[in-house]
Amino acid sequence: MDFIKKTGVILCGGKSRRMGIDKGSLIIKNKMFISYAIDAFERFEEIILATDRIERHDYLEIVSKEKERIKIIEDIYPEKGPISGIYTAMKSAKYDIVVIACDMPFISRNLTENIAGRLDECDEKYNVILFSDKRIQPLCSGYRKIYKDEINRCIMENKLSLVDFIKNNKYILFEETNKTYVKNINYPEEYRKLDGR
């Protein structure tokens, strides 16, 4: 298999306060959410699972044994939200990154690979930001490693909004009409409604 020279990043941080349990370990059709996320990066040369605290996620070590190219990293700045996971991943990544959240069980390989392709096609200063369901989707987008220091500065200044970071830097929009791909599951009632549980 020819691997895509991008780093797939799965954000596993957060306390899942609304769900009450770790969302990556939720199961649909006999498979954990985190496994769907890993499958979305099947052709990526490198996969990083970024978490706020490794010991919080019982499944991470088990899942990481599935593929030798998976790394598990702990946020450099805990309690700072997704922007911290992205910064930590950028510091560790070999390549520009495509980011998804662990609570998107309908994410597709086609989508992550298309985002990676757009990163290859556009100017190297531009992030590739997904636009779906009438808004930008910062947790399903492509980011350039050249912005690592800028993201670190945002964290140091406690400017933790990914949307603000995106709007203050160069980006192109990549539109996806199938909003199911980016549907994330936040609440127990949303999980109960899923088919195949």
DSSP state of 52: S
45 domain residue, yes or no: yes
Structural domains counted in the chain: 1
CA 128 to CA 143: how far, in whole Å? 6
Q: What is the dihedral of CA 113, 82, 158, 92, to 10 degrees?
A: -60
Kindly report the CATH number assigned to the domain that includes residue 178.
3.90.550.10
Residues making up the binding site: 11-13, 23, 75, 103
Bind-site residues for Mg(2+): 103
pLDDT(66) > 70: no
Query: Does residue 96 fall inside a structural domain?
Result: yes
Average pLDDT over residues 17-25: 73
Pick 30 or 7 by higher pLDDT.
7
Q: What is the pLDDT of residue 188?
A: 83
List binding-site positions for GTP. Answer: 11-13, 23, 75, 103
The whole domain housing 42 covers: 4-192
Please provide residue 70's backbone torsions phi and psi, each rounded to the nearest 5 degrees: -95, 130
Measured distance CA(105)–CA(193) in Å, rounded: 13
What percent of the chain clears pLDDT 90, i.e. is strictly above it?
Answer: 64
The distance in angstroms from the start CA to the end CA of the chain is 32
Residue of 133 and 21 predicted with greater confidence? 133
Q: pLDDT higher for 190 or 164? A: 164
In a domain, residue 197? The reply is no
Answer yes or no: is pLDDT of 20 > 80.
no
What number of other Cβ atoms are within 10 A of residue 5's Cβ? 14
The one-letter amino acid code at 177 reads T
